A = this chain, B = another copy of it.
Amino acid sequence: MKDTRQSTVGSVGLVKTHYFTFAEPPGHLALVSGKRLSPVTLAYETYGKLNSDATNAVLILHALSGTAHAAGYHSTNDRYAGWWDHYIGPGKAFDTDKYFIICSNVIGGCNGSTGPSSINPETGKEYALDFPVVTIRDMVNAQWRLIGHLGISKLLAVSGGSMGGMQALQWAISFPEMVQSVIAIATASSLSAQGIAFNEVGRQAIFRDPNFNNGDYYSGNSPVSGLSLARMIAHITYLSDKIMHEKFGRRLQNKDLFSFKFDTEFMVENYLHAMGLKFVSRFDANSYLYITKAIDYFDLKSEHEGRLTSAFEGVLSDFLVIGFTTDWLYPSAQSREIVNALRVAGKNVVYTEIETDKGHDAFLLPDDRMERDIANFLKREFEKTGR
């Protein structure tokens, strides 16, 4: 019997990951750090069809641990769909009957795009910590090459949540002529001191794992202990205090009485352990270091003399900004700061603050209001193209 979780109603169905590689001057990627990266491969997926005048392309950008696989299934046996399947498909917010959707894995990652676990052509071995530190701007510059390769000169929209939202903002700033609109969700113009602190303790969990071996662990045991601990710490920040209380409270996992041992006995402990274990099977510890660092470095204000409005002055896009009331990692006040700066800069911006108890994770979860606002915003933007 077919797994009932795999529904094809409103699904893009079976999809494949594609790979685009560019290399050699002028094909290399000049990084913000001053270093160069070559060759550069981007893993990406597309859903729907590009129309004849290429006006319906939407670029989807993922968060810290995301992949190019945003919608559909890789095989009929897949238990889970892509990470934003609820929002991408025929008749969905990112309607694949109307739009051509592209999602690419970021550089620095470990899901098909060039990152620290890729082979360094100079040594024939994995880069490990010889991989250059990359920034959000570098990620966007690499995506720009992919968009050109796909024959698209202007994107109807760029959209993402969390680090994906940072990339979306950067796209509008780096390539104003190419971005008709931005949908930035649960994001910020820079990470808070508290956010940097959480990223740093996660990195330290990895650094302090004896298997880390200064990043050079690809031929031996991986620092799974440190990486899973980093993920456990991060998971606390993805949920609100309220949803943790609702989901787990102080309930015990398997019994009514305390063990008086150091077992993990509270449900919330078991949940975090499960999240940590699940993560290490799909993510590379070095990539965790590089991507959290890219998030820490992102700062539209400091790049524009401390004024966020200045960052947005040259932007030509319309904006839909979405914040969540209980998100404390990317608090909605940071969304409102973006909205305010955009309005001071005279831009066209719609803001939605969604009342939810789900915390930062809300941007990944089904939400009727988010679905509706994205669908309506995109529809209006598409009408502007004259289609």
Expressed in whole angstroms, the Cα–Cα distance for A197 and B233 within the complex equals: 8
CB of A132 within 8 A of chain B?
A: yes
Interface residues of A in 205-253 (CB under 8 A from B): 205, 207-210, 225-226, 229, 232-233, 236, 239, 241, 244-245, 247-250
Interface residues of A in 32-55 (CB under 8 A from B): 33-35
Residue from A132, A229, A297 having most chain B Cβ neighbours under 10 A: A229
Expressed in whole angstroms, the Cα–Cα distance for A269 and B190 within the complex equals: 16
Residues of the B chain whose Cβ atoms lie less than 8 Å from the Cβ of A225:
208
Contact status B201-A233, CB under 8 Å: yes
Contact status A266-B192, CB under 8 Å: no
Show the binding face of A for B, using Cβ within 8 Å: 33-35, 129, 132-133, 190-194, 196-198, 200-201, 203-205, 207-210, 225-226, 229, 232-233, 236, 239, 241, 244-245, 247-250, 258, 260-262, 264, 266, 268-269, 272, 289, 293, 296-297, 299, 302, 328, 331
Listed from nearest, the 10 A-B pairs whose CB atoms lie closest are A193-B244, A33-B260, A133-B260, A193-B268, A200-B269, A194-B241, A193-B248, A208-B225, A197-B236, A194-B244
Instruction: Supply 11 further A-B pairs (C-beta < 8 A) apart from A133-B261, A190-B250, A200-B264.
Output: A129-B262, A132-B260, A192-B244, A194-B244, A194-B245, A196-B266, A197-B272, A200-B232, A200-B269, A203-B262, A207-B262
- List 22 contacting pairs A-B, 8 Å CB cutoff, sorted by A: A34-B260, A129-B262, A190-B250, A192-B241, A193-B241, A193-B249, A193-B266, A194-B236, A194-B239, A197-B236, A197-B268, A198-B236, A200-B232, A200-B266, A201-B229, A201-B232, A201-B236, A201-B272, A205-B208, A207-B262, A233-B233, A262-B293
